């Protein structure tokens, strides 16, 4: 709930000015810009509260690769690749060839780090 209520979180009902297709999370998608994309809540059809951490498709399939929280954290490598650097997809070909340092929480630390205060972000990746 903390993540869903964060000031950066928003609900999307479409993409590029049109109604969202299923592959983009229709009918409703929760966007959390500090998390890796696979962790974004997609296709909300109901909300259920529980006292146990729910299992997601990604961390059920490969728990050693995809953690429950899935925050952008350059200090914790994926088991198969480093996450310390990234390539921008918005520039030209040469921009993609010049990796940049990945920023903690996708650069939104000032807005979200308080939600994870005291949490071991290596163990809870």
From CA 78, how far away is CA 82, in angstroms rounded?
6
Whole-number percent of the chain with pLDDT over 70:
94
What is the structure's pLDDT at 82?
92
What is the structure's pLDDT at 20?
83
Confidence of residue 33 (pLDDT cuts 50, 70, 90): very high
Q: Could you read off the pLDDT of 50-99 as tens digits, one per residue?
A: 998 888 788 888 888 888 888 999 999 988 999 999 887 766 666 667 78
Residue 107: pLDDT over 80: yes
Q: What is the mean pLDDT of the chain?
A: 86
Q: 5-14, 28-37, 93-102, 108-117: which range is least confident on average?
A: 93-102
Tokens standing for residue 59: 């961390």
From CA 9, how far away is CA 59, in angstroms rounded?
22
Residue scoring higher pLDDT (94 or 101) = 101
* Triad 87, 9, 81: Cα angle to 5°: 30
Residue scoring higher pLDDT (32 or 53) = 32
What is the structure's pLDDT at 93?
67
Summarize the confidence of residues 36-46 as an average pLDDT. Answer: 78
The structural architecture, per CATH, of the domain 2-116 is Alpha-Beta Complex (3.90)
Looking up tokens 């921009």 gives 95
């Amino acid at each position: 709930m903390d993540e869903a209520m964060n000031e950066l979180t928003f609900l999307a009902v479409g993409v590029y000015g049109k109604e969202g297709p299923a592959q983009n999370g229709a009918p409703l998608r929760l966007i959390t810009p500090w998390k890796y994309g696979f962790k974004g809540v997609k296709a909300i059809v109901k909300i259920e509260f529980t006292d146990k951490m729910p299992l997601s498709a990604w961390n059920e399939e490969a728990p050693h690769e995809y953690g429950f929280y899935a925050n952008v954290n350059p200090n914790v490598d994926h088991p198969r690749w480093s996450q310390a650097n990234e390539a921008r997809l918005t520039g030209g070909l040469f921009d993609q060839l010049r990796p940049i340092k990945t920023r903690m929480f996708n650069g939104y630390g000032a807005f979200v780090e308080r939600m994870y205060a005291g949490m071991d972000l290596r163990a809870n990746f």
